[in-house]
Amino acid sequence: MADLMELNYTVSNEDFTRAGEASSDVKKKLKQLGVSPDAIRKVAIALYEGEINMIIHAYGGKIKVTISENAITLVLADKGPGIADVEKAMQAGYSTAPDKVRSLGFGAGMGLPNMKKNSDQMDIQTEIGVGTTVTMVINI
């Protein structure tokens, strides 16, 4: 299966107002490529929540989006603190986000469950003190 396109982004945690710029760019590119609205919506939601997570829970990171004939693969890698209990983190409503993040409209503990809901496959590799890599596949 040949990869049609690869997109790479560096996500900075310095300016929260710019959070989501990578997701926004990916959404525009998928639209130009004529990907179905249903798949674009799933990618947009999953990627945006993931991008926000790398900013609020880690120190930013890197996003790689691979578009092939049958699927879109999203890889979000950060060098943040890692996730101690992935099973717990996946539960709806579980969040370690500080109040400051909540006052910005995030930190309800809905991100990871929503990322899973919108992807056909999701995998989390994480190590305390080393970082987290979330991989999501959305079939098209």
Partner 1 sequence: MTVNDILDILDATAIAGKSGLDNEVLTACGSDMMSDVLAFAKTQCVLLTGLCNPQVIRTAEMMDIVAIIFVRGKTPDETMIKMADEMGLPIVVTSHRMFSSCGLLYEHGLRGGIIDG
Chain residues in the site for partner 1 (CB under 8 A)? 16-20, 23-24, 27, 41, 44-45, 48-49, 52, 104-111, 113-114, 117
Q: Which tokens go with 31?
A: 């639209």
Min dist CB 19 to Mg ion, Å, is 11
78 binds, among ligand ADP, Mg ion, partner 1, none (CB under 5 to 8 A by kind): ligand ADP
16 CB neighbour count, 10 Å cutoff: 15
Q: Rounded to whole angstroms, how far apart are CA atoms 7 and 29?
A: 9
Q: Rounded to whole angstroms, how far apart are CA atoms 24 and 113?
A: 21
Query: Which amino acid, 93?
Result: G
Position 136 contacts ligand ADP (CB under 6 A): no
7, 29 contact by CB (below 8 A): yes
Position 50 contacts Mg ion (CB under 5 A): no
Position 133 contacts ligand ADP (CB under 6 A): no
Binding mask 1-30 toward ligand ADP (x if CB under 6 A, else -) reads: ------------------------------
- Calculate helix-pair angle for 111-118, 37-56, nearest 10 degrees: 150
Min dist CB 136 to Mg ion, Å, is 14
